């Protein structure tokens, strides 16, 4: 799966979990399961983190940090830009 397709799917699944609300944070683990990824597997964890980081850099996702220094993507939420990307039918 190419990066754009992976990002689009990531964003759509996150949108569904958040019920389209920017104020709702969801579990990264739950999102990973919906994407068919196991965060205990290094390859899946790397793919998940990479997609989350790219979408965060694009301003579509917020990583809600749980640790003091690193973004671990255990809690994620959408930005209004992420919601518009999904609701407007534009690719993520």
Name the pLDDT band for 73 (thresholds 50, 70, 90). confident
Residue-level pLDDT at 68? 60
What 79-85 contacts at long range (C-beta under 8 Å, 24+ apart), as own/partner pairs, is: 79/22, 80/22, 82/11, 82/14, 82/15, 82/22, 82/55, 83/15, 83/20, 83/22, 85/11, 85/60
Query: Percent of the chain beyond pLDDT 70?
Result: 87
Domain ranges of the chain: 3-87
**13-56 pLDDT, tens per residue?**
999 999 999 989 999 999 999 999 999 999 999 999 999 999 99
Rounded CA separation 85/81 (Å): 6
**Domain range 3-87, its CATH number among 1.10.1200.10, 3.10.580.10, 3.40.50.2000, 1.10.10.10:** 1.10.10.10
Residue-level pLDDT at 67? 62
pTM of the full structure: 0.87
Residue-level pLDDT at 74? 87
């Amino acid at each position: 799966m190419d990066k754009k397709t992976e990002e689009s799917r990531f964003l759509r699944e996150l949108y569904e979990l958040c019920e389209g609300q920017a104020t709702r944070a969801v579990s990264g683990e739950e999102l990973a399961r919906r994407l068919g990824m196991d965060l205990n597997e290094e390859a899946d964890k790397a793919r998940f983190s990479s997609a989350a980081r790219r979408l965060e850099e694009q301003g579509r996702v917020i990583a809600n940090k749980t640790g003091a220094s690193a973004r671990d993507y255990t809690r994620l939420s959408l930005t209004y830009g992420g919601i518009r990307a999904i609701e407007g039918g534009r690719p993520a």
